[in-house]
Amino acid sequence: MGNEKLEKLFETERLNIFEAVEFEIDRVMTIEEDPENRDYIWQGTYEEHLEEIGSDEAYLLTFKKKEDDGLVGYCLIRLDKASEVFELRRIAITEKKKGYGREAMKGLFKFCFEELKMNRFWLDVYPHNEIGLSLYKSLGMFYEGTHRQSYKSEKGYLDQMIFSMLKSEYFRD
C-alpha cells in the first residue's frame, strides 16, 4: 500500500508526515528496536501501537521523504486537550545526521502550536542521549528539571530530563 491511500497530516520541506496505519506497526517496531535507537526510547508492543492508532488522545506518526516515500522515522504524541498539552512521547529517526530530526521537530512545533492550538509542548529525554539533548537545546526548548531515577531498565534506574516549549515562546521567535 502506498501513500496515495494514506492521509498526509502535515509536511515540512523534505518530509511528509502521516498518521500511521496498522500495516506500518511492524516497521515502527523495527525502528524502536534498532540498536541506534533502543537505548533512548521505550519499545511499544503491537497491541499498544494499534491502540495508539485508534486513540483520540494520541498520534502515532510516520515521517516519509518526499523524494521517494522512504520511511525515515516516527513519533508518538499524547494530547491532553483539556489542558492544551502536547507530549512528545517518542521520536526516532532512521537516517542519522541528515537533519531529519531537526526538521521533524520544527514541523511538530508548528503542528502543535499553529494547527492544534496547544499551549505547551514537552518531552523527556535520558541524560545519556547527547544527540537529543543537543537538538532540544538548540531548538530553544526550556530545561525544566530532572525526574531522578524515574524509570527502571535492565541497566538500573534512569533519570529523565524534562524539556518544554510554550506557545508564547514559539510565537515570540
DSSP 43-107: PPPHHHHHHHHT-SSEEEEEEEETTT--EEEEEEEEEETTTTEEEEEEEEESSTTSSHHHHHHHH
**pLDDT, position 5:** 62
Instruction: Supply the pTM of this predicted model.
Output: 0.92
- The pLDDT tens digits along the chain (173 residues) read 444 467 799 999 999 999 999 999 999 999 999 999 988 898 899 999 999 998 999 999 999 999 999 999 999 999 999 999 999 999 999 999 999 999 999 999 999 999 999 999 999 999 999 999 999 999 999 999 999 999 888 889 999 999 999 999 999 96
Inter-residue contact 165 to 142 (CB < 8 Å): yes
| CATH class of segment(s) 3-125 | alpha beta
Whether 90 and 42 have beta carbons less than 8 Å apart is answered as yes
All structural domains of the chain with their residue ranges: 3-125
